Amino acid sequence: MNILVTGGAGFIGANFLNLLVPRHPEHRFINVDALTYAANPASLDPIADRPNYAFARVDITDADAVQALFAEHEPDCVVHFAAESHVDRSILGPRQFVRTNIEGTFNLLEAARTRWAPGDGLFHHVSTDEVYGSLGPTGLFTEDTRYDPSSPYSASKAASDHLVRAYHRTFRLPVKITNCSNNYGPLQFPEKLIPLMILNCLERKPLPIYGEGTNVRDWLYVTDHCEAIWAVVERGAVGRTYNIGGHNEVRNIDVVDRLCETVAELTGQDVDGLLALKTYVKDRPGHDHRYAIDASRIGEELGWTPKETFETGLRKTVQWYLDHSEWVDKVRSGEYRNWLDANYGDRG
Ligand code: NAD
Ligand code: TDX
């Protein structure tokens, strides 16, 4: 198969490609990424020279470029990760979320619809549990939970999910959708809670906790998510949605405490000094209180279960950030933006 992977230079996409490109030499993987602030091509160093891997710098909001991409690479399958993914940024500037997450998805669906014969191909849409809104103290999101998004980010992902389903019903486009809970692990851009807190601990900066820190997220190690997506691509039912989650609900304050303990243990720093960095700051507007996933469908139908526990996953993650300070310095520096322009500026 020719598999077009959008957003493969971002956090989950890069983990997905690093896992699957070596494992499946019989498939050709084409990574399509605009290289926004959230991307890091260095994340793909382990597979960059593999014969079954290629990179194309394309912005999915450019409909003509997306059509040209399909003409050139003739994909049989699209695994669509590319998105603006950070809730706080969607509050500060929602426009790009509408463009990339809704229009970008639409452009890909249009290319797939016009280039694949009815019933051919597979469009796998990678989505989030945030489309379901917020839970109270009990209950779980199932695949039948009503959509009720709270942020411009989650509303844009909900809209893209609806478009994907509509293309299935109207045009018989073979689609699959996965809605996953919060991911963590190597290669995550340090704007998200876990890498932000790790790096702030290492730099002895304040650890900003929104509101009272009692919001709950269901954390899943990134490679467990990637394995789940691949199981759905290979064996999931066409037209079906699968929820993916870690069975691992943790309050934000407890995540931060565990991170302080893990950083202290792995670096020899004094844990009380790290815990003292916790700072309660103004809450996120529209902050969803609790997410929790019922992942029984993917478990029962496809036999998927997460392999990492929160303890093993957090240790691996903290160790990865300790070992990759160069990666971190690059994604945070202006020099990195210059390097991107110099290396990829004219490769559109
Ligand atoms: P990310 O922000 O780390 O990476 C996004 C990637 O998409 C980047 O490489 C970026 O350059 C690329 N991109 C952005 N706009 C683009 C455009 N217009 N054209 C082409 N490429 C573009 O995101 P992530 O955390 O890896 O998330 C990947 C997907 O998984 C997203 O669709 C997100 O909604 C979904 N998801 C994420 C999580 C999570 O916890 N991170 C959980 C569930 C679902
Ligand atoms: O500095 C912070 N302080 C804080 O208390 C940050 C960045 C976050 N938080 C809180 C907000 C959330 O309750 O931590 C929790 C996690 O925040 P994020 O890492 O921003 O993730 P979240 O908003 O839950 O969304 C993530 O999971 C679902 C991803 O960013 C989405 O792309 C994914 O769809």
51-72 pLDDT, tens digit each: 999 999 999 999 999 999 999 9
- Structural domain includes residue 76: yes
pLDDT recorded at residue 336: 67
For ligand 2, atom 24: residue with the closest CA? 182
> Does 85 contact ligand 2 (Cβ within 6 A)?
yes
- Structural domain includes residue 215: no
Q: What is the pLDDT of residues 280-335, one digit of tens each?
A: 999 999 999 999 999 999 999 999 999 999 999 999 999 999 999 999 988 888 77
State in Å: Cα 252 to ligand 2 middle.
9
CA distance 3 to 27: 7
For residue 31, the domain's CATH number is: 3.40.50.720
Expressed in angstroms, the distance from the first to the final Cα of the chain is: 24
| pLDDT band per the 50, 70, 90 thresholds, residue 139 | very high
State in Å: Cα 64 to ligand 1 middle.
21
pLDDT recorded at residue 339: 66
Q: Give percent of the chain with pLDDT exceeding 90.
A: 94
Q: Of ligand 2's atoms, which has the minimum distance to the CA of residue 87?
A: 23
Which residues, judged by CB distance below 6 Å to any ligand atom, belong to the binding site of ligand 1? Answer: 6-7, 9-13, 33-36, 38-39, 59-61, 81-85, 100, 104, 126, 128, 157, 180, 182-183, 189
Ligand nearest the Cα of residue 10 is 1
pLDDT above 70 for 194 = yes
- Structural domain includes residue 53: yes
Q: Which domain holds residue 57?
A: 2-182+220-247+288-308
Ligand nearest the Cα of residue 191 is 2
Active site residues: 129-130, 153
State in Å: Cα 215 to ligand 2 middle.
10
- Structural domain includes residue 116: yes
pLDDT above 60 for 346 = no
- Structural domain includes residue 256: no
State in Å: Cα 276 to ligand 1 middle.
33
CA distance 347 to 81: 21
Q: Of ligand 1's atoms, which has the minimum distance to the CA of residue 9?
A: 9
- Structural domain includes residue 174: yes
pLDDT recorded at residue 348: 37
CA distance 144 to 243: 10
Average pLDDT over residues 44-49: 97
Mean pLDDT, rounded, of the chain: 96
Bridge-based pairing state of the strands 77-80 and 122-128: parallel
> Does 256 contact ligand 2 (Cβ within 6 A)?
no
Q: What is the pLDDT of residues 246-275, one digit of tens each?
A: 999 999 999 999 999 999 999 999 999 999
- Structural domain includes residue 325: no
State in Å: Cα 86 to ligand 1 middle.
9
pLDDT recorded at residue 343: 66
pLDDT recorded at residue 344: 67
Instruction: Out of 85, 181, 226, give the residue to mutate to test ligand 1, the one with the largest number of ligand atoms within 8 Å of its CB.
Output: 85
Min mean pLDDT across 143-157, 275-289, 328-342 is at 328-342
Q: What is the pLDDT of residues 91-125, one digit of tens each?
A: 999 999 999 999 999 999 999 999 999 899 999 99
Q: What is the pLDDT of residues 233-251, one digit of tens each?
A: 999 999 999 999 999 999 9
> Does 127 contact ligand 2 (Cβ within 6 A)?
no
Structurally, how many domains does the chain consist of? Answer: 1
- Structural domain includes residue 206: no
pLDDT recorded at residue 347: 44
